[in-house]
A and B are shown apart, each in its own frame.
Chain A
């Protein structure tokens, strides 16, 4: 159940994409995401698809790992596509009993399906090729100007870092507790919705207890090692833009400008 989730998973590999500065990757991903929203359902979207395939291949991460990200959202995408297909008015292409499929409906459903898939693949591209540590460093650096407005940039980055680090552990714990309760005859798949929610108490309560305990221990351990927030704290890995980052962002920017305008 929980073990199949691969949220925020990073796959180390030797590739051009892995070697890029994480700030560059975040900027590139956001640029591509904006382009996906802006692109019309035409050659623009097709070129974007090709671009994303090239990026995926350059990352040298098994393609299966990318498509794993789509699995949890597949049902939502398909249902939304069906609704669009069913409800969009226009020129009728096919007709069965009471269901009318229009050309506009087909275009809207395909467009949404493709855009949704690309967005998920892009998010996956960023997390699969960027370690959580690098990601939070990059977020901290990118949001640095907001510090002057009193925004707690370092604290936000630290929260992100800890969350990314502990999400897999949280799911592992949840899986262990679930198995332990299964061993005591718990059955989470039978009964009414109310009964099932009530049964979840045997997983949720221990998980809360463990999480709070872990958070408390972590906070104490950080304080004991002199952590007092971002003020006066230096960084071990200072991020630096290299020529490859400028080339990557430059080439991508030119392609996107060319596609969009």
Chain B
């Protein structure tokens, strides 16, 4: 089930002095089972794109086709079904939690789908496991007593309980501490391996994107300005700088050294390798500073 986007246009507050083109003639294809990271400066249209993919916004021009079916031609009921297939996790999803008990919160989606209690409970248990919350321990607990990171994972479980084929995440790690960020990224990686679902993640953290995503899309002014693999992206650090994306300190060091001809290859999921190469070169004194 690929997602094909063609010449998409979306404008906020059209016809007012505050008019802003959020998506500008954007075309993109998202293949089945991919993990895609979307980066870009604030206001580049990342979150708008996710909402368009979920049919929460209607484009002014262009088409989105999921498995060959055009979103613009779908009726309300079809769109509601589509949203179960394309799960979306908003920024700070813990704010949408409203039920008193964790079980009821996760079961909200499956019950809306019309599933019976047995199936809904099965989905709740599965989803809680998948986000690293032991159902036996958490199921009956109050949502108010969870930590920030746990609430975030609970909100994601609420979406996973719909059993979506696509997972759209809008800055899922924002506002979490380092440990929780790592845990959440590990959960997402496992989800991809177990369910084989297509994941599209918007983030400002280059390290998180490099850690999780195979394909990276960089947006600027509502258009795709780079669509590349994580390996290739690392070798175009200058381009990232131009687009306002900050390199991590370690990547900055490697980039500076490479500019002096050190030739250190960077692997997105193996930064230690770069460290080893630098140490070796320093030991052999085969360098020029």
Binding site for B on A (CB under 8 A): 11, 13, 61-62, 64-65, 173, 176-177, 179-187, 189, 201-202, 205-206, 209-210
Contact = CB atoms under 8 A, between A and B. Distances in A.
Contacts of A186: 108, 112
Interface string B71-83: 0000010001001
20 contacts: A13-B17, A62-B16, A65-B16, A65-B17, A173-B95, A177-B95, A180-B88, A181-B96, A183-B54, A183-B159, A184-B108, A184-B112, A185-B80, A185-B84, A185-B109, A189-B76, A205-B98, A206-B95, A206-B96, A209-B98
Contact of A180 (B15, B93, B112, B113): B93
Contacts of B90: 176, 179-180, 183
B87 interface: yes
Contact of A184 (B17, B51, B159): B159
Contact of B17 (A11, A177, A182, A206): A11
B222 interface: no
Given A179-B56, A179-B90, A182-B56, A187 B98 contact: no
Contact of A187 (B17, B54, B97, B112): B112
A34 B108 CA distance: 52
B162 interface: yes
B40 interface: no
A209 B144 CA distance: 11
Interface residues of B, number: 25
Interface of B: 15-17, 51, 54, 56, 76, 80, 83-84, 87-88, 90, 93, 95-98, 108-109, 112-113, 158-159, 162
Say what secondary structure dominates the interface of chain A. Answer: helix
Contact of B56 (A64, A183, A210): A183
B96 A180 contact: yes
Nearest to A180: B96
Contact of B113 (A185, A189, A202): A185
B162 A201 contact: no
Given A65-B16, A182-B80, 8 more contacts: A61-B17, A179-B51, A179-B56, A183-B54, A184-B158, A185-B109, A202-B108, A206-B97
B171 to A, nearest CB: 13
Nearest to A187: B80
A201 B98 CA distance: 8
A179 to B, nearest CB: 5
A64 B16 contact: yes
B15 A64 contact: yes
A85 to B, nearest CB: 33
Contacts of A187: 80, 112
Contact of B83 (A11, A185, A189, A205): A185
